[in-house]
Amino acid sequence: MSKIVVVGANHAGTAAIKTILSNHPGHQVSVYDSNSNISFLGCGMALWIGAQIDGPEGLFYSSKEQLESMGAVIHMESKVEDINFEQKKIFARAKDGSALEENYDKLILATGSWPIVPNIPGKDLENVQLVKLYQHAGDVIEKIKSPDIKNVVVVGAGYIGVELAEAFQRHGKNTTLIDIEKTCLPVYYDDEFTSLMNQNLQDHGIHLAFGERVVEIRGSGKVEEVVTDKGAYPADMVVLCIGFRPNTNLGGEKVERFKNGAYLVNKKQETSVKDVFAIGDCATVYDNSVNAPNYIALATNAVRSGIVAAHNACGTEIESVGVQGSNGINIYDLKMVSTGLTLKKARSLGINALATDFEDLQKPEFMKSENPPVKIRIVYDADSRVILGAQMASTYDISMGIHLFSLAIQEKVTIEKLALTDIFFLPHFNKPYNYITMAAISAK
Ligand SMILES: Cc1cc2nc3c(=O)[nH]c(=O)nc-3n(C[C@H](O)[C@H](O)[C@H](O)COP(=O)(O)OP(=O)(O)OC[C@H]3O[C@@H](n4cnc5c(N)ncnc54)[C@H](O)[C@@H]3O)c2cc1C
Ligand SMILES: NC(=O)C1=CN([C@@H]2O[C@H](COP(=O)(O)OP(=O)(O)OC[C@H]3O[C@@H](n4cnc5c(N)ncnc54)[C@H](O)[C@@H]3O)[C@@H](O)[C@H]2O)C=CC1
């Protein structure tokens, strides 16, 4: 039986801790987290900020007490500051300043990520906010109660930015959403889909400033204005959400890294250092759509990688099946889901990619209720015919459909095979010539 030290106890760490304690009794688990809470679902933050849920209580699914009752030793508000890989020892600092050190047999790094802060003048002004932690959301919610916060500028129209723009608009704030690219959600969808979301945001009064680079945040003490290379926007609050950077200060050059600094891991979540694993947002994932390691920061990947590392650390060898970066978003009534590569991304990687598009009602025309249009795109390799990606959009809840494509990419299914896949029909749900089959059949 071994001593396993886990650094970081949010989604990845919690999954690893629970997997060890539930499946491998006898191992000692010691946990360090610099924060004061465990398992906070950041995914619910925009709903909380936008007052679409009652409060943050339901956004936690574990706690220090729960993990202790399972047998873990938990050190909250204790930051690991150094690791000696030769001596297999970690060095931490508790909140009261006292030094802690502990030996390990296996070490699991689950240190997560932090929002990228652009190095521009004014970034430290009052009311320039990040939205990553439970504490951040609480701070934003307190501040926006003030009528003095009239104009909110969100920098970065990725997943966090788009969700927050809706949240601020729901409070009646004059909301501007800025992105360096010419659209929102450029990483996840092709223009045919992002244009639907752009229209949706505009229809709800959100001002879009796309294709603009923020060069300065101005104010005296408090923020007053955001200046881009093309204009200036009044701002009483600014939220910076231009992506995540992995928290990988620990380990220095001894641990092999990915190009953005993430710990490079194999399919067992092992780093280049013996007996040291890395999971969640601080580590790479194996991306089946490009057949290579990649950086995709998602809670879903964090949980799965935690499970895989836990079993391997306890001596049960298992490998990750890889990921496709499957994701979804719901803004007002518009739902969009995607997985794998967009056409734009596939072509930028030099793949001879094609897309097949289809648009139809969800159910037969004679079904009069809850029967809106659905738009689908499947991206595939024109040479091998293998499916590389898919995107879907509707006001109907089409979210479950994307899982089929996630598995198809993982298993390298061809577009022809998908066209003949058994997809059931019932008028309450779909059409006999449903849009998945029809998109696949119409592929060139
Ligand atoms: C607003 C928002 C919305 C999101 N929505 C979604 C969504 O809808 N779907 C989805 O899949 N993902 C979503 N994500 C992403 C998701 O939250 C992350 O992928 C996930 O939190 C990663 O989990 P993690 O445990 O790897 O890292 P983190 O959540 O970053 O946790 C890392 C933990 O490590 C601790 N730590 C770091 N360094 C040290 C140290 N040196 N010593 C001790 N402790 C340390 C930190 O205190 C923290 O508790 C969202 C993120 C945000 C911010
Ligand atoms: N629904 C979901 O699954 C959600 C997932 N997440 C995940 O959390 C992570 C972080 O989310 P985000 O911060 O939204 O990152 P993101 O990668 O989704 O979006 C970042 C956006 O910032 C833009 N950008 C980059 N540099 C910029 C600059 N200097 N000025 C202006 N714009 C700039 C990019 O073009 C991009 O549109 C992502 O991995 C995301 O997938 C977050 C929220 C919801």
- Domain range spanning residue 146? 117-242
For residue 432, give the CATH number of its domain.
Answer: 3.30.390.30
Of 187, 216, 242, which residue sits at a domain end? 242
Note the ipTM here.
0.97
36, 104: one domain: yes
Evaluated on CA atoms 341, 117, 249, 278, the torsion sign reads negative
Measuring from atom 44 of ligand 2, which residue has the nearest CA? 159
Residue 12 lies in a domain: yes
* Positions marked active-site: 11, 43
Mean pLDDT for the stretch of residues 221-233: 97
Give per-residue pLDDT as tens, 342-378.
999 999 999 999 999 999 999 999 999 999 999 999 9
| Structural domain total, the chain | 3
Tell me what the pLDDT averaged over the chain comes to. Answer: 97
- Listed residue (219, 227, 48) closest to 128, CA to CA: 219
Specify whether 127 is located in the same domain as 105: no
| Domain end residue (candidates: 278, 313, 348) | 313
Tell me the CA distances in angstroms from 166 to 107, 152, 159, one per residue in order: 40, 11, 11
| Residue 389 φ/ψ, nearest 5 degrees | -170, 165
Mean pLDDT of 110-126: 97
- Report d(CA 147, CA 342) in Å as an integer: 41
Residue 201 lies in a domain: yes
Write the pLDDT tens digit of every residue in 149-185: 999 999 999 999 999 999 999 999 999 999 999 999 9
Model confidence at 1, pLDDT cuts 50, 70, 90, reads confident
| 351: in domain | yes
Checking if the pLDDT of 257 tops 90, the result is: yes
290 and 343 co-located in one domain: no
Residue 109 lies in a domain: yes
Does residue 98 lie in a domain region? yes
Q: Which of 215, 242, 269 is the last residue in one of the domains?
A: 242
pLDDT tens figures, 27-73 = 999 999 999 999 999 999 999 999 999 999 999 999 999 999 999 99
Ligand 2, residue 184: give the atom nearest the CA. 37
**Does 18 have pLDDT greater than 90?**
yes
Three-state DSSP string of the chain: CCEEEEECCCHHHHHHHHHHHHHCCCCEEEEECCCCCCCECHHHHHHHHCCCCCCCHHHECCCHHHHHHCCCEEECCEEEEEEECCCCEEEEEECCCCEEEEECCEEEECCCEEECCCCCCCCCCECEECCCCHHHHHHHHHHHCCCCCCEEEEECCCHHHHHHHHHHHHCCCEEEEEECCCCCCCCCCCHHHHHHHHHHHHHCCCEEEECCCEEEEEEECEEEEEEECCCEEECCEEEECCCEEECCCCCHHHCCECCCCCECCCCCCECCCCCEEECHHHECEEECCCCEEECCCCHHHHHHHHHHHHHHHCCCCCCCCCECCCEEEEECCEEEEEEECCHHHHHHCCCCEEEEEEEEECCCCCCCCCCCEEEEEEEEECCCCEEEEEEEEECCCCCCHHHHHHHHHHCCCEHHHHHCCCCCCCCCCCCCCCHHHHHHHCCC
Distance 156 CA to ligand 1 centre (A): 18
Q: Which residues contact 97 (CB under 8 A, 6 or more apart)?
A: none
How much of the chain, in percent, has pLDDT values that exceed 90? Answer: 99
Q: Which CATH number belongs to the domain containing residue 229 in this structure? A: 3.50.50.60
Ligand 1 center from residue 111 Cα (angstroms)? 8
Pocket of ligand 1 (CB under 6 A): 7-13, 32-35, 42-43, 45, 79-80, 110-113, 131-132, 160, 247, 250, 280-281, 297-300, 302
The count of other CB atoms within 10 Å of the CB of residue 55 is 9
Q: What type of residue sits at position 59? A: L
Clarify whether residues 282 and 337 are in a common domain.
Answer: no
> Which residue is listed with tokens 């600092």?
93
* pLDDT at res. 439: 98
What's this model's pTM, rounded to 2 decimal places? Answer: 0.97
Task: Using most ligand atoms within 8 A of CB, pick from 61, 281, 303, 326 the residue to mutate for ligand 1.
Answer: 281
Same domain assignment for residues 66 and 172: no
DSSP 252: G
Asked if the model's pLDDT at residue 9 lies above 90, the reply is yes
Residue 320 lies in a domain: no
Look at residue 321 and tell me if it is in a domain: no
Instruction: Clarify whether residues 107 and 153 are in a common domain.
Output: no
HSE-CB of 36 using CA atoms within 13 angstroms? 4
23-36 tens-digit pLDDT:
999 999 999 999 99
pLDDT digits (tens, 9 = 90+) for 376-426: 999 999 999 999 999 999 999 999 999 999 999 999 999 999 999 999 999
Residue among 120, 133, 153, 160 to mutate when testing ligand 2 (max atoms within 8 A of CB): 160
At residue 401, what are phi and psi to the nearest 5 degrees? -60, -30
Pocket of ligand 2 (CB under 6 A): 43, 118, 155-161, 163, 178-181, 186-187, 213-214, 241-244, 297-298, 327-329
278 and 190: one domain? no
Please indicate, yes or no, whether residues 147 and 214 belong to a single structural domain of this protein: yes
Does 179 lie in the same domain as 78? Answer: no
Residue linked to tokens 């066209």: 419
Kindly state the average pLDDT of the residues 18-25.
97
Instruction: Establish if 322 belongs to a structural domain.
Output: no
Residue 100 and residue 196 share a domain: no
86 in the same domain as 123: no
Report whether 306 contacts 318 (CB < 8 A). Answer: no
Work out the average pLDDT over 118-132.
97
| In a shared domain, residues 21 and 104 | yes
What type of residue is 113? S
Angstrom distance (rounded) from CA 19 to CA 14: 8
Question: pLDDT tens for residues 290-328?
Answer: 999 999 999 999 999 999 999 999 999 999 999 999 999
Mean pLDDT score, 102-112: 98
